[in-house]
Amino acid sequence: MRGLLARRMKFHLLGAFLVSVGCATLYKFAVAEPRKRAYAEFYRHYDPVKDFEAMKAAGVLESAPAK
């Protein structure tokens, strides 16, 4: 029983480190990268002037009344 805590602690610290690195890698490639690509694709075709005119025509903006 001597040194049991130290041995178990080494095993669990290594396991926790590997699990955390795995989770971070999984998040990066499963969530962060697709999100970046989706934002890039959206802003590649986004026209802010056209969007402003559509909101203005719909009467959404108080500071720019519809004509």
**Domains of the chain, residue spans:** 4-58
Q: What's the confidence (pLDDT) of residue 59?
A: 87
Structure tokens at 54: 């559509």
CATH of region 4-58: 4.10.93.10
Structure tokens at 43: 């802003």
Instruction: Name the residue with tokens 């690195």.
Output: 21
Q: What's the confidence (pLDDT) of residue 11?
A: 94
Which stretches of the chain drop beneath a pLDDT of 50?
Answer: none
Q: What's the confidence (pLDDT) of residue 21?
A: 98
Instruction: Name the residue with tokens 């499963």.
Output: 30
Query: What is the reported pTM?
Result: 0.67
